Chains A and B, each alone.
Chain A
Amino acid sequence: MVIFLLFTIFFFYPICKIFISSVYDPETGKLSIAAFQKFFSRKYYTSTVWNSLKVTFLVTIFSVILGTALAYIMKTIKIKGKAILEIAIVVSVISPPFIGAYSWILLLGRSGIITKIINNIFGVTYNGIYGLAGILLVLTLKMFPLVYLYVNGALKNMDNSLNEAAENLGCKGINKIIKIVIPLISPTLLAASLLVFMRALADFGTPMLIGEGYRTLPVLIYSAFVGEMGGDTAFASAISVVIVVITAIIFLVQKYISNRKVIEMSALNQMEPKETKGICNVAAHIFSYVLVLLSILPQAVVIFTSFLKTNGRIFVEGFSMDSYKNAFSKMGSSIVNTYVFSMIALAIILVIGVLTAYVSVRKRNALSSVLDTTIMFPYIIPGSVLGIALMSAFNKGPIILSGTGMIIIVAYVIRRQPYTIRSSTAILRQINPSVEEAAQSLGASSFKTFLKISLPMMIPGVVSGALMSWMTIISELSASIILYVGTTRTMTISIYTEVIRANYGVAAALSTILFISTVIALVLFFKISGKKELEI
């Protein structure tokens, strides 16, 4: 009940405020759709919607194709070095998205390393991969590993006898994949597509850095609210409404479709990779290696350049730790902030998550089902929208939070809460209620039972969920970029600002620190949960 209250204050209120400010003109004190009119009247703005949708759909399609292909190939053909490839894939999933953007600028930007090579070899003047192409490249390479993980999980649950039965009946190769495999994993494909779609739609850093003027909706919101020509809350709110409507529609469509197709599968015989020969084998290996290489390239480049000597803003010959020294001295506070904010947010998330899970699984009533649905709302609100919602809601009384670290923590909590609730619920469901009943029969009250029995049994799962959450918290950008002030910067914000200012050295150093933190968390996660693979 308390949770519900908290949630209402911190989430519903700001969101409602946004919707209201989009139609309410504070100056004239009247309801007006002027903001919306402004948005839909100028082609400059409406084209943004079109751009966003174009990007999002293309990225979704490409990454689903690539991810599924890779997953299928890795499941059916024995690829040498598969273990290393899988680690690389996991690594690329957990690194922040926009790091890819600026990495690619280093490689394929105007003065990028690869650009120079191409220009020299082919004697052309290639101006670099900016605009739509750049955004597509970065986002696709960033998202396909996610699809891979989803599809990998689904294929694990697919009984190989289904494949064999199909072949036995004369259906082989591509035909089999299209007619048998794809339909069977379609619920997973839908879920993965939805995730990719929403992430791509809401992604702020990538188009901002590599788009070079190619406007997508999050970029527009940011510049309307914060940028030089900003300060137009109503307008930003209007755009937010548009985004939320789009996401909500897609979300509902996906829910509708996935409810209609319910396929239960469990594998008695799992699919085993087989050795193949010839062209197929070579092609498969090349495809896998190249794809995975491309996906971790950005991160590798970043780590590499963090150790290069810099002369002002340019990389020069030789290695040094200067970038790191600069990072710590100038941006030291942002490193501290990141850890402090994320830990506090994590603590709050854990408490709320565990309690909500308990109420939702063990004490079902009308309120708990309402709670279930409302908890999922943050999924469909892009980070940028949340940012401006919180900002405008808590700018004035009764609760003033803007400009403090607290508001960033609130953003973290709201954005990352659903995941922990889901994983806590999943663990709790695995605990047989008879253990709790045994405790009660031995004289322990409900509360005592929860503390002494249920909670200790949940801990391994809760901790690994917490680690996953932490990894995503520290790389959050789109909301915090709107909420920060000088003293409350976090590492991701610093990385972003340094990249904008072309201080690539310091940006690289900070990114690497962030990366190492994530890797440590990941290693701990695998150790504690005892899992061998990452399942989302």
Chain B
Amino acid sequence: MSVSININHLVKRYGDNTVIPDLNLSIKHGEFFTLLGSSGCGKTTLLRMIAGFNTIEGGTISFNDRILNNISPDKRNIGMVFQNYAIFPHMTTAQNIAFGLKNRKIDRKEIDKRVLEMLKMVKIEDLKDRLPSKMSGGQQQRIALARAIVIKPDVLLMDEPLSNLDAKLRIEMRSAIKEIQNRFKITTVYVTHDQEEALAISDRIAIMKHGVIQQVGTPIEIYQRPTNLFVATFIGQSNVLEGRALRKHGYKGVILHDGTWIRVDGLKDEVEDGRDALMLVRPNEFSILEEGEEKAGVDGVVIESVFLGISMQYKVKLSNEIIINVMQQDLSKRAAQPGEVVRLLINPVYYNVFDKKTEYSLVNGVNEFE
């Protein structure tokens, strides 16, 4: 039924232009795996290579142990959901969904039964005999999903299926897709550029840039333990503070631009004092020092303060003129006003420090491939 996907040393070239130089990936069977990245990073290209619509210039793609390179798309037993739905306009909803089953020589009764089941599952029974031309995006997307799943494919491929829907519908469909995938446990490869969507829906995520995978991991891992600066700044909001590695009193740590020393036990042993480093702090990992407390932190001036309902957002200018974003979620504390001088404490779940030159993580416990 559902398969594992193994991609080895995959190469994609268009003429002289190499868009994917050497890609290796292992997707577990039954997993919801997302390819995340901005436009042009190669995620759709990779997806289409798995589907068979793009040629492979090097390396192999296998389902379980079966190498797929030379198998035509209609024989790969994949279900694909396209960004623009690609519903056949001259067939009714039911006929659309039945199409894949008809190609597999399944008998009439069985087809009708499965189609009806599927219509109920995606909640479009009443659209059964209608033509798609006047349907909304959400309805068409459900048809596309039903059509891809009803054939019980080995792999489900989705190419930014929700990007043409409005925000509220997107969230609704997101849950529907997740629920269905959970029920059938089909290995799914999902492409998106929306990082919130990726975090919400995936078992594991691969972040791509220029055809190269930057990191593979669960949403939590990627968010809390990014392997490089790109991943760190791509996911979630972030502030980057400049500094240098420095040991003090026998402890490992980082000294920031204004002399504030932050203790970082997780720093790798081989990091020498004086190495230029960048510390990543998410806006909610800062807290404003209360009056009367004496702790180490960075000093700055509040230049903007915005009340967003569930949080206060500040823009704070540090002594090196850099402006950072701070989010205060504990609204029982007093809100800081513009012009106020504040000291910001840094308390993340995990400290994230990167080498300024290579941009790679300098802390322990971070893995590129989980």
Q: Which residues of A contact B (CB under 8 A)?
A: 432, 434-435, 437-445, 448, 453, 456-457
Contacts and interface: CB of A to CB of B under 8 A. Distances in A.
A55 to B, nearest CB: 49
B226 interface: no
A432 B74 contact: no
A526 B79 CA distance: 40
A443 B150 CA distance: 13
A453 B74 CA distance: 14
A436 B331 CA distance: 55
B53 A442 contact: no
Contact of A443 (B89, B90, B144, B151): B151
A438 B83 CA distance: 11
B11 interface: no
Contacts of B84: 432, 434
Contacts of A434: 82-84, 86
A535 B78 CA distance: 42
B100 to A, nearest CB: 3
Contacts of A457: 88-90
B41 interface: no
Nearest to A435: B86
20 contacts: A432-B86, A434-B83, A434-B84, A435-B89, A437-B53, A438-B86, A438-B87, A438-B88, A439-B99, A440-B53, A440-B74, A441-B78, A441-B80, A441-B157, A442-B147, A443-B100, A444-B74, A453-B88, A457-B89, A457-B90
A439 to B, nearest CB: 7
Nearest to A443: B103
Contacts of A432: 84, 86
B328 to A, nearest CB: 46
A445 B88 contact: no
Nearest to A437: B53
B88 A435 contact: yes
A456 B90 contact: yes
Contacts of B89: 435, 457
A440 B78 CA distance: 10
B80 A445 contact: no
Contacts of A438: 80, 82, 86-88, 144, 147
What 3 A-B pairs have minimum CB-CB distances, sorted nearest first? A442-B100, A443-B103, A438-B86
B104 interface: yes
A457 B89 CA distance: 8
A440 to B, nearest CB: 5
B51 interface: yes
Contacts of A448: 103
B4 to A, nearest CB: 20
B53 A443 contact: no
Nearest to B89: A457
B74 A445 contact: yes
A39 B72 CA distance: 61
A530 to B, nearest CB: 13
A442 B103 contact: yes
B21 interface: no
A364 to B, nearest CB: 15
Nearest to B104: A443
A437 B90 contact: no
A441 B53 CA distance: 9
A354 to B, nearest CB: 16
Contacts of A437: 51, 53, 73, 80, 82, 86
Interface string B131-146: 0000000000000100
Interface of B: 51-53, 72-80, 82-84, 86-90, 99-100, 103-104, 144, 147-148, 151, 157
Given A442-B74, A445-B74, 9 more contacts: A435-B86, A437-B80, A437-B82, A438-B86, A439-B99, A440-B73, A441-B76, A453-B88, A457-B88
Contacts of B104: 443
Contacts of A445: 72, 74
B151 A442 contact: yes
A517 to B, nearest CB: 30
A442 B99 contact: yes
A471 B289 CA distance: 86
Contacts of A453: 88
Nearest to A431: B89
A33 B53 CA distance: 57
Nearest to A459: B90
B151 A439 contact: no
Nearest to B81: A438
Contacts of B99: 439, 442, 444
Contact of A444 (B53, B82, B87, B103): B103
A442 B103 CA distance: 7
A444 B99 CA distance: 9
Contacts of A441: 51, 73-74, 76, 78-80, 148, 157
Nearest to B103: A443
B74 A443 contact: yes
B110 to A, nearest CB: 15
A438 B81 CA distance: 8
Contacts of A442: 74, 79, 99-100, 103, 147-148, 151
Contacts of B148: 441-442
Contacts of A435: 86-89
A444 B52 CA distance: 13
A443 B76 CA distance: 8
Nearest to B82: A434
B74 to A, nearest CB: 5
A57 to B, nearest CB: 47
Contacts of B144: 438
Choose among B76, B83, B86 the residue with the greatest number of A CB atoms under 10 Å from its CB: B86
A456 B99 CA distance: 14
A169 B211 CA distance: 51
A375 B53 CA distance: 30
Contacts of B103: 442-444, 448
Contacts of B53: 437, 440
A445 to B, nearest CB: 5
Contacts of A443: 74-75, 77, 100, 103-104, 151
A160 B72 CA distance: 50
Contacts of B86: 432, 434-435, 437-438
Contacts of A456: 90
Nearest to B80: A441
A432 B86 CA distance: 8
Interface centre among A440, A445, A448, A456 (most CB of B within 10 A): A440
Which of B51, B83, B99 is most buried by chain A, counting CB atoms within 10 A of its CB? B99
Contacts of B88: 435, 438-439, 453, 457
A322 to B, nearest CB: 50
A438 B52 CA distance: 12
A434 to B, nearest CB: 4
B102 to A, nearest CB: 9
A454 to B, nearest CB: 10
Contacts of A440: 52-53, 72-74
